[in-house]
Amino acid sequence: MNAKAYGLTDVGRRREANEDEFLLDDGLGLYAVADGMGGHAAGEVASHLAISTLRESLTSSGWEGAETETDVARAQEALRQAVDEANRKICETVMSREEWRGMGTTVVILLACGERALIGHVGDSRAYLLRNGDFRRLTSDHSWVNEQVKLGLLTEEQAHRHPMRNIVTRALGNRLDVALELNNETFRGGDVFLLCSDGLNSMLSDEEIRTTLEANPDPRDACRALVDAANARGGEDNTTVIVLKVNGNPRT
């Protein structure tokens, strides 16, 4: 997998602190966004623990990196273990101090494994793929509003503006047996993968995200343009984006 990746995080226009964190490690082929929650700086603690533990766990598991490791089953197992480890550490921290009750974090991860991209997530941070003009979500939010959408009780449009849209139904730090949802995709030349916190997709529609990505072929420009667009729309939350573009031309 020959790709160029860039990441950017921004506090936004309304919040005093940035509780998001991201990880971009081309050697490991590991890209992740975590969106922390909980008062008294707890969100920052949770997202930081998630990101640092993911990296440490994969490194110590003997993971050989994006280029050499091509065993998808082994990669899935390494990723599950890394997320379990991160969850366990956050749960222990939550239990250690009264003021950290309710602390947690989402996480969305892309792990490159040879020609495959493993996509894992917990919570409402998202992964998207732009391929040959086709733009789609690779993750399904673990959120109350998305459950209502799946049940046919809310439309996507209603969910987007719903007062309970921030309620996450699955997060690291909430319970010891958190389930990582895993998918995978084959990398193709020209693919653009986007990982983001909900600060992006709560301010912009999927169509706006798609047109911004298409207008900015370089990952660095795309990250800047996405964050600027979210802030121009109000910047109500922290916004974090990682854009990974696979080199080569799209197959026709």
- By CB under 5 A, what part of segment 170-209 binds Ca ion? 197-199
Site for Ca ion in 62-121 (CB under 5 A): none
Compute the least distance from the CB of residue 19 to Ca ion, in Å: 7
Q: From the CB of 244, what's the least distance to Ca ion, in Å? A: 21
Beta carbon of residue 188, minimum distance to Ca ion (angstroms, whole number): 30
Cβ 201 to Ca ion shortest distance, Å: 10
For residue 132, what are its two tokens?
């040959």
Give Cα 28 distance to the centre of its chain.
Answer: 17
* Token pair 């986007």 in the structure block, residue: 194
Q: Which is nearer to Ca ion, 69 or 198 (CB)?
A: 198
Residues 32-71 that bind Ca ion (CB under 5 A): 35
Write the binding mask 219 to 248 for Ca ion: x where contact by CB under 5 A, - elsewhere.
------------------x-----------
| Between 53 and 125, CB nearer to Ca ion | 125
Euclidean distance between CA atoms 7 and 229, whole angstroms: 15
At closest approach, how far in Å is the CB of 213 from Ca ion? 20
Nearer to Ca ion, 37 or 117 (CB): 37
Where does residue 105 fall: left (phi above 0), alpha (psi -120 to 50 degrees), or beta otherwise? Answer: beta
Nearer to Ca ion, 15 or 220 (CB): 15
Calpha distance 105→114 (Å, rounded)? 28
Both tokens of 106, joined, read 């989402």
Nearer to Ca ion among residue 87 and residue 125 (C-beta): 125
CA atoms within 13 Å, Cβ hemisphere of 181: 18
Q: Is 141 in the site for Ca ion (CB under 5 A)?
A: no
Going by the DSSP 8-state scheme, the letter that residue 149 receives in this structure is H
**Encoding tokens for residue 62?**
């003997």
Query: The tokens of 138 are what?
Result: 């690779």
Least CB distance to Ca ion at residue 66 (A): 28
The residues, any chain, with a CB within 8 Å of residue 235's CB and separated by 6 or more, are: 10, 12, 13, 14, 199, 203
**Could you list the residues that contact Ca ion (CB under 5 A)?**
35, 197-199, 237
